[in-house]
């Protein structure tokens, strides 16, 4: 047989598998729809910089779309739309299905917390006439990436009088920003000999917040006093109130189109708002589903899903138990029959660093939403490891609805690894598989994703919610 035998080429097409590029799979109209969808995503990113702000924005959009707050003492009927919020940091959107929830519910879960720098409980100090905030980083970061970039500050301070003050400063054009300094190369000879992980140390991530002395005062801590008086004037707080605060420094970059073709988006917080937003919009678009739809936007994934707003907490389980009770049913009957897409990002293949990826088991930009059978590290440790049956069911659905999808595992065997919320929902008895958008430069202050993949994630989650 010659090399170009058309019969052989056809046979290879029939027998071999490789995920196709979105440009080959999606029509021009669909790519335009993806671009349009991503305008909404960029606006969401620019507005919602933290888990609290994401939760508030999700509730605002939900109410705009006919959702009302969940009341466990009320009865709900097919088509009803409800939202539930866990302590301001995690949200569940729910659309009641035609079938009783003993038939199971359809869950999608993405996280809305992202790696960042949290202020320490006693953060304020001055050194050589410069005012600083001390930080403790949240989630896995490469610390050197967080110096010399503009930062904004978000969160809440609970004052000694009990008042809760909301803080958001540094993202509007007329607002001041904050920054962490790094050494000039001229004097970095010793620093350059440090390993990359120690290049900038945790205790060196100190944020510059001021440099003028309190007017007319030349004594000790004059800069600290000047900063504290501004904060007192603006927010009515004293230094002690930082103890009862959650203030997060995040990159002050806006979301931008990247590339001459505008096919990519560069932004802070794609992990995991790039899955949370498609999930949110899919839940808003659902009308009268067969099975009840439960869209979870959770907190604390980046530090192991711990705490009462993370998915190791009980709030999802209790929500479903409450929901079951409104139907006169038991919650555990519902969970065992339920199915879940755990929506989180995967590492996109990076041609500049090919050595850490298994080329034929990596996800790629622009090949659609990634179906990830297992996560974990060192022999799949701490992974959900979805069943062949459930992966088969989900991928058949995606194929039947022409959803652009690919498969991928996070890096080569023993190169590292990572986890998602999948295993915590599987612990409740549901069938779970990971899906999500591939990301370049994950956990950096400016992550990169492809618009076609974001739209594919939206379509995947919507079709999962609406399947018969
Ligand atoms: Mn994630
Ligand atoms: Mn992450």
**Which residue bears the tokens 């001390």?**
134
CA of 210 to the centre of ligand 2 (A): 31
**Which residue bears the tokens 């799949």?**
380
Distance (Å, whole) CA 244 – CA 224: 19
- Which domain CATH number covers 189? 2.30.250.10
What's the confidence (pLDDT) of residue 2? 62
Same domain as 88, residue 147: no
Assess if residue 32 is contained within a domain: yes
Same domain as 341, residue 315: yes
Residue 414, sorted as left (phi over 0), alpha (psi -120 to 50) or beta, turns out to be: left
CA of 173 to the centre of ligand 2 (A): 28
Task: Find the helix packing angle between 28-47 and 451-466, rounded to 10°.
Answer: 90
Residue 272 preceded by cis peptide, ω within 30: yes
Q: Which ligand is nearest to the CA of 112?
A: 1
Number of domains in the chain: 2
CA of 418 to the centre of ligand 1 (A): 9
CA of 344 to the centre of ligand 1 (A): 5
CA of 114 to the centre of ligand 2 (A): 7
| Domain final position from 194, 222, 251 | 251
| Domain final position from 251, 280, 296 | 251
What's the confidence (pLDDT) of residue 331? 85
Three-state helix/strand/coil letters over the chain: CCCCCHHHHHHHHHHCCCCCCHHHHCCHHHHHHHHHHHHHHHHHHHHCCCHHHHHHHHHHHHHHCCCEECCCCCCCCCCCEEEEEECCCEEEEEECCCCCHHHCCEEEEEECCCCEEEEEEEEEEEECCEEEEEEEEECCCCHHHHCCCCEEEEEEEECCCCCEEEEEECCCCCCCCEEECCCCHHHCCCHHHCCHHHCCCHHHCCEEEECCCCCCCCCCCHHHHHHHHHHHHHHCCCHHHHHHEEEEEEECCCCEEECCCCCEEEECCHHHHHHHHHHHHHHHHCCCCCCCEEEEEECCHHHCCCCCCCCCCCHHHHHHHHHHHHCCCCHHHHHHCCEEEEECCEEECCCCCHHHCCHHHCECCCCCEEEECCCEECCCECCCCCCHHHHHHHHHHHHHCCCCEEECCCCCCCCCEECCCHHHHHCCCCEEEEEECEEECCCCCCEEEEHHHHHHHHHHHHHHHHCC
What is the chain's pLDDT, residue by residue, as a tens digit (468 residues)? Answer: 667 799 999 999 999 998 999 999 999 999 999 999 999 999 999 999 999 999 999 999 999 999 999 999 999 999 999 999 999 999 999 999 999 998 999 999 999 999 999 999 999 999 999 999 999 999 999 999 999 999 999 999 999 999 999 999 999 999 999 999 999 999 999 999 999 999 999 999 999 999 999 999 999 999 999 999 999 999 999 999 999 999 999 999 999 999 999 999 999 999 999 999 999 999 999 999 999 999 999 999 999 999 999 999 999 999 999 999 988 888 888 999 999 999 999 999 999 999 999 999 999 999 999 999 999 888 989 889 999 999 999 999 999 999 999 999 999 999 888 899 999 999 999 999 999 999 999 999 999 999 999 999 999 999 999 998
Same domain as 208, residue 274: no
Q: Which ligand is nearest to the CA of 420?
A: 1
Distance (Å, whole) CA 322 – CA 316: 10
Assess if residue 108 is contained within a domain: yes
Q: Are 338 and 429 in contact (CB under 8 A)?
A: yes
CA of 421 to the centre of ligand 2 (A): 11
Same domain as 425, residue 380: yes
CA of 345 to the centre of ligand 1 (A): 5
Q: Are 83 and 70 in contact (CB under 8 A)?
A: yes
The 10 Å Cβ neighbour count of residue 165 is: 16
Q: Which ligand is nearest to the CA of 421?
A: 1
Q: Which ligand is nearest to the CA of 302?
A: 2
CA of 260 to the centre of ligand 2 (A): 28
Q: Which ligand is nearest to the CA of 139?
A: 2
Q: Which ligand is nearest to the CA of 444?
A: 2
CA of 83 to the centre of ligand 1 (A): 23
Rg (CA), the chain: 24
What's the confidence (pLDDT) of residue 304? 96
CA of 318 to the centre of ligand 2 (A): 26
Same domain as 273, residue 345: yes
What's the confidence (pLDDT) of residue 327? 82
CA of 227 to the centre of ligand 1 (A): 35
**Which residue bears the tokens 């009840």?**
292
CA of 443 to the centre of ligand 2 (A): 6
Q: CA 223 → CA 5, 78, 121, 167, 233, distances in Å?
A: 78, 60, 20, 21, 15
Same domain as 243, residue 192: yes
CA of 414 to the centre of ligand 2 (A): 18
CA of 302 to the centre of ligand 1 (A): 7
CA of 220 to the centre of ligand 1 (A): 44
Same domain as 232, residue 108: no
State the pairing for strand pair 431-436/339-343.
Answer: parallel
Same domain as 42, residue 32: yes
Same domain as 292, residue 432: yes
Q: Are 297 and 52 in contact (CB under 8 A)?
A: no
Q: Which ligand is nearest to the CA of 110?
A: 1
Assess if residue 3 is contained within a domain: no
What's the confidence (pLDDT) of residue 1? 60
CA of 420 to the centre of ligand 1 (A): 6
- Which domain CATH number covers 294? 3.40.630.10
Assess if residue 258 is contained within a domain: no
Q: Which ligand is nearest to the CA of 272?
A: 1
Assess if residue 259 is contained within a domain: no
CA of 169 to the centre of ligand 1 (A): 25
CA of 385 to the centre of ligand 1 (A): 17
Assess if residue 217 is contained within a domain: yes
Distance (Å, whole) CA 294 – CA 465: 9
CA of 298 to the centre of ligand 2 (A): 13
What's the confidence (pLDDT) of residue 102? 87
Q: CA 159 → CA 169, 227, 235, distances in Å?
A: 18, 17, 9
Burial of 196 (0-12, 13-18, 19+ CB in 10 A): exposed
Domain of residue 26 covers 17-114+268-466
Same domain as 324, residue 233: no
CA of 291 to the centre of ligand 1 (A): 27
Assess if residue 12 is contained within a domain: no
Same domain as 218, residue 342: no
Please give the structure tokens belonging to residue 30: 């669909």
CA of 273 to the centre of ligand 2 (A): 10
CA of 139 to the centre of ligand 1 (A): 10
What's the confidence (pLDDT) of residue 333? 85
CA of 271 to the centre of ligand 1 (A): 5
State the pairing for strand pair 245-251/151-158.
Answer: antiparallel
Assess if residue 7 is contained within a domain: no
CA of 25 to the centre of ligand 2 (A): 29
Cα angle at 299 between 348 and 157, to 5 degrees? 125
Q: Are 110 and 279 in contact (CB under 8 A)?
A: yes
Contacts for 428 with CB less than 8 Å, ≥ 6 apart: 316, 317, 320, 335, 338
Same domain as 198, residue 318: no
What's the confidence (pLDDT) of residue 330? 86
């Amino acid at each position: 047989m010659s090399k170009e035998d058309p019969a052989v080429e056809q046979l290879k097409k029939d027998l071999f598998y490789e995920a196709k590029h979105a440009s080959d799979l999606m029509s021009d109209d669909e790519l335009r729809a993806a671009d349009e969808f991503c305008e909404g995503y960029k606006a969401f990113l620019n507005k919602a910089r933290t888990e609290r702000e994401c939760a508030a924005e999700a509730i605002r959009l939900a109410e705009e779309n006919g959702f009302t707050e969940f009341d466990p003492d009320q009865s709900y009927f097919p088509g009803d739309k409800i939202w539930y919020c866990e302590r301001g940091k995690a949200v569940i959107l729910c659309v009641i299905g035609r079938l009783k929830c003993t038939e199971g519910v359809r869950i999608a879960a993405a996280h809305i917390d992202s790696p960042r720098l949290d202020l320490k409980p006693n953060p304020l100090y001055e050194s050589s006439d410069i005012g600083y905030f001390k930080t403790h980083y949240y989630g896995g970061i490469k610390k050197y990436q967080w110096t010399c970039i503009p930062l904004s500050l978000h969160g809440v301070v609970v004052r000694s009088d009990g008042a809760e003050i909301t803080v958001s400063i540094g993202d509007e054009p007329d607002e001041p920003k904050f920054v962490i300094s790094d050494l000039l190369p001229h004097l970095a000879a010793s620093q350059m000999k440090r390993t990359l992980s120690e290049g900038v140390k945790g205790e060196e991530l100190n944020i510059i917040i001021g440099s003028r002395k309190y007017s007319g005062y030349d004594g000790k801590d004059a800069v600290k006093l000047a900063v504290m008086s501004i904060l007192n004037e603006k927010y009515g707080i004293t230094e002690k109130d930082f103890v009862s605060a959650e203030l997060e420094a995040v990159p002050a970059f806006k979301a931008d189109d990247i590339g001459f073709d505008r096919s990519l988006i560069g932004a802070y917080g794609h992990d995991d708002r790039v899955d949370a937003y498609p999930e949110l919009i899919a839940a808003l678009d659902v009308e009268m589903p067969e099975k009840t739809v439960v869209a979870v936007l959770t907190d604390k994934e980046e530090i192991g899903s711990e705490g009462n707003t993370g998915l190791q907490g009980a709030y999802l389980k209790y929500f479903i138990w409450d929901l079951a009770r409104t139907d006169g049913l038991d919650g555990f009957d519902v969970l065992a029959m339920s199915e879940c897409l755990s929506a989180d990002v995967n590492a996109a293949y990076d041609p500049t660093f090919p050595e850490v990826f298994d080329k034929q088991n990596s996800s790629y930009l622009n090949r659609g939403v990634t179906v990830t059978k297992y996560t974990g590290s060192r022999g799949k440790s701490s992974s959900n490891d979805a069943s062949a049956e459930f992966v088969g069911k989900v991928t058949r659905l995606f194929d039947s609805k022409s959803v652009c999808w690919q498969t991928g595992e996070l890096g080569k065997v023993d190169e590292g690894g990572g986890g998602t919320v999948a295993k915590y929902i599987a612990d409740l008895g549901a069938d779970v598989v990971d899906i999500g958008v591939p990301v370049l430069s994950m956990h950096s202050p400016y992550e990169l994703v492809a618009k076609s993949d974001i739209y594919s994630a939206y379509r995947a989650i919507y079709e999962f919610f609406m399947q018969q």
